Structure 1
């Protein structure tokens, strides 16, 4: 195979890979949206059910005892998968930008086509800048995973507050315990998002 044929074969492979990565990104976004929608739909159904049993003291406690752990489990599983889709999306974006950078170096010549894809020292930051996102750990607060993590934290804090109230704790103490647990739960999940994402940037 001469250089011309090799170049043509490489370009064909890169074009195919580019399309596959774009499809993969679309798939991760669709999956994240679908999973978050399912979780929030289950949460909404649980709240509607709570409205029906809230006036019956004999039913409301068993209902909450069954529903809250279920919601937390579903929420945690949803959160873990959303973190994975966030990482997968980031890696796909970086790989796409590497292909676009090749297009620029090999074919653009004096034109500025694909010039924004030239890889800098921090390839991941460059990739995210191209889609209008400022790289940084606080940017993860805006992800779907962080949204679900916040709901999980509230549910966890609520569950602990109800347990504290059932144990005879005062109203103020119960609220403080619930808020503290919720804040800690969200912090743990946020740290997990950041570490998981940082560990897969290479």
Structure 2
């Protein structure tokens, strides 16, 4: 015979549900703030580069100082955005677990606490709440991936400029090749890192 949950248990579960929702909202706010900070730093640097290009001999020293700084900021931003994304998934999985318990309270409860995802796992349900399906392609649509693409282009352009002006003495094909290889390698490393971080959540 099934027993009714105690009032203390229901109070604790509702409180935990609220805490998890608040935590999920905090991760989204942090991701937005860090992304905005990086994009602001990047746009400011690019505007300053435009002004520096108008003065002979100033572009290269300024680019050598600004681009690596913004790139490192981008790396820090990407790593933290992956962390907040993983933490958000843990919060949403916890909410999915609680909603699963709600479905057992009454025969009619399944109608009001329907699953968000197509799969049976809590992670699938958490991804479903974000309108995302699990799989290798899911990581392409995160905030971290957006910053990674921009930062990858920045790294490729920076190395291409270095190759063009310093290493090869204005050899454009070589500079373009170096830039493309650097951008591709950087993005591949990032997506591998992000995928491994999200895999740990699903286990």
TM-score, length-scaled by structure 1: 0.91
Partner residue of 2:8? 9
Distance 1:89 1:76 in 2: 20
Cα offset, 1:117, TM superposition: 6.3
Partner residue of 1:148? 147
Partner residue of 1:29? 28
Indicate conservation of the 8 Å contact 1:101/1:119, yes or no.
Answer: no
Cα offset, 1:40, TM superposition: 0.1
After superposition, where does 1:126-141 map in structure 2 within 5 Å?
A: 126-141=125-140
Cα offset, 1:200, TM superposition: 2.4
Deviations 1:84-129 (A, max 9, x none): 00000111001001001101112x3234221326996432113322
Partner residue of 1:191? 192
After superposition, where does 1:52-201 map in structure 2 within 5 Å?
A: 52-106=51-105, 108-111=106-109, 112-116=111-115, 121-165=120-164, 166-168=166-168, 170-201=171-202
Cα offset, 1:158, TM superposition: 1.4
- Unaligned runs of at least 5 residues, structure 2: none
Indicate conservation of the 8 Å contact 1:104/1:118, yes or no.
Answer: no
Relative to structure 1, is the Cα distance of residues 145 and 66 closer, same or farther in structure 2, using a 3 angstrom cutoff? same
Indicate conservation of the 8 Å contact 1:68/1:159, yes or no.
Answer: yes
Distance 1:117 1:56 in 2: 57
Instruction: Give 3-state SS (helix, strand or coil) of 1:133's partner.
Output: coil
Indicate conservation of the 8 Å contact 2:21/2:91, yes or no.
Answer: yes
Cα offset, 1:179, TM superposition: 0.9
Distance 1:198 1:61 in 2: 42
Distance 2:67 2:90 in 1: 35
Deviations 1:148-197 (A, max 9, x none): 11111111111211221111252111101101110111111111111111
Relative to structure 1, is the Cα distance of residues 133 and 55 closer, same or farther in structure 2, using a 3 angstrom cutoff? same
Indicate conservation of the 8 Å contact 1:91/1:201, yes or no.
Answer: no
115-124 vs 180-189, greater mean Cα deviation: 115-124
- Unaligned runs of at least 5 residues, structure 1: none
**Pairwise CA RMSD of aligned residues?**
1.9
